């Protein structure tokens, strides 16, 4: 129909052969590769360093475009993006977070609880934009290519969209904080999210002029990065990689 060749799938379905749409695959230039790795290595979960300046509309659209370019199981693209700028809605969200955060603090004890309470978690109030990213498990029908044996693949796909947005934000000089301390029902009520939709992430976004040189929780002594070599197995669980033999 579009001038391309067709190929048989199974015993009757015919799909266009899109080899004419292929493009050359090649490594990026050194400069471009360094930029990608720099975004990955310097990405931070921002909790308090947001500036009040609103994000430009074109920047927001680029970030959403990056998120929408994420891979998804069966190409179902299960995500939606709820942009939250309204101060009253953000105030309700912060109140819900505060209740859950107090519950979380009580789960720790002693010095660990003191450290937890010392963390500044002010993104919802300080960041000029919040984005709630959701997953619609019904998008694409009941049977989704690639999700037939792992129904969580749609949620994993949506997390890929979160990461795409986060890395693009780093390149744009925009800080992102992922707020996970919520009761699901509270966010669902605040944003009128249907019951069948899964809430994946509440992200706070805003310009920042400084970032921690290392992850904030490492800087503040909560937990340190694990050595990569301790996390690599080869061929089976627990087997050391060949480089360690």
- The pLDDT mean for the chain works out to 91
Any residues with CB less than 8 A from the CB of 206 and at least 6 apart, and which? 46, 50, 51, 52, 53, 55, 126, 127, 128, 129, 174, 175
Average pLDDT over residues 175-189: 96
Lowest-pLDDT range of 11-15, 110-114, 118-122, 175-179 = 11-15
Instruction: Look at residues 43, 49, 65, 66 and name the one whose alpha carbon lies nearest to residue 170.
Output: 43
Lowest-pLDDT range of 1-5, 26-30, 185-189, 230-234 = 1-5
**Residue 3 pLDDT level (bands cut at 50, 70, 90):** very low
Number of C-alpha atoms within 13 angstroms, CB side, residue 202?
Answer: 25
Query: Which pLDDT score is estimated for 6?
Result: 43
Q: What percent of the chain has pLDDT over 90?
A: 84
| 12/175 Cα distance (integer angstroms) | 50
Q: What is the pTM of this model?
A: 0.89
Tokens of 209: 């002029």
- Identify any residues that bridge with 146 across adjacent strands, giving them in sequence order: none
- The CATH superfamily of 44-215 is NADH Oxidase (3.40.109.10)
Counting other chains too, the contacts that 12-19 makes at CB distance below 8 Å and 24 or more residues apart are: none
Instruction: Look at residues 34, 29, 27 and name the one whose alpha carbon lies nearest to residue 171.
Output: 34
């Amino acid at each position: 129909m579009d001038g391309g060749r067709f190929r048989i799938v199974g015993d009757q379905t015919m799909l266009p052969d899109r080899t004419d749409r292929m493009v050359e695959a090649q490594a990026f230039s050194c400069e471009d590769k360094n930029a990608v790795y720099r975004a990955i290595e310097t990405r931070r979960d921002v909790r308090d360093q947001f500036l009040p300046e609103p994000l430009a509309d074109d920047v927001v659209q680029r970030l959403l475009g990056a998120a929408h370019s994420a891979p998804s199981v069966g190409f179902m693209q299960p995500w939606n993006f709820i942009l939250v700028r309204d101060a009253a809605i953000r105030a309700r969200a912060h109140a819900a977070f505060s209740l859950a955060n107090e519950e979380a603090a009580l789960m720790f004890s002693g010095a660990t609880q003191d450290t937890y309470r010392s963390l500044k978690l002010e993104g919802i109030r300080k960041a000029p934009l919040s984005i709630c990213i959701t997953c619609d498990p019904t998008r694409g029908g009941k049977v989704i290519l690639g999700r037939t044996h792992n129904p969580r693949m749609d949620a994993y796909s949506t997390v890929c969209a979160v990461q795409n947005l986060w890395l693009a934000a780093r390149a744009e000089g925009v800080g992102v904080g992922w707020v996970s301390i919520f009761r699901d029902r509270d966010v669902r009520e605040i944003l009128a999210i249907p019951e069948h939709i899964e809430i994946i992430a509440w992200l706070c976004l805003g310009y920042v002029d400084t970032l921690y040189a290392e992850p904030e929780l490492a800087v503040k002594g909560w937990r340190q990065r694990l050595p990569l070599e301790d996390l690599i197995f080869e061929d089976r669980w627990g087997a050391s990689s060949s480089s360690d033999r």
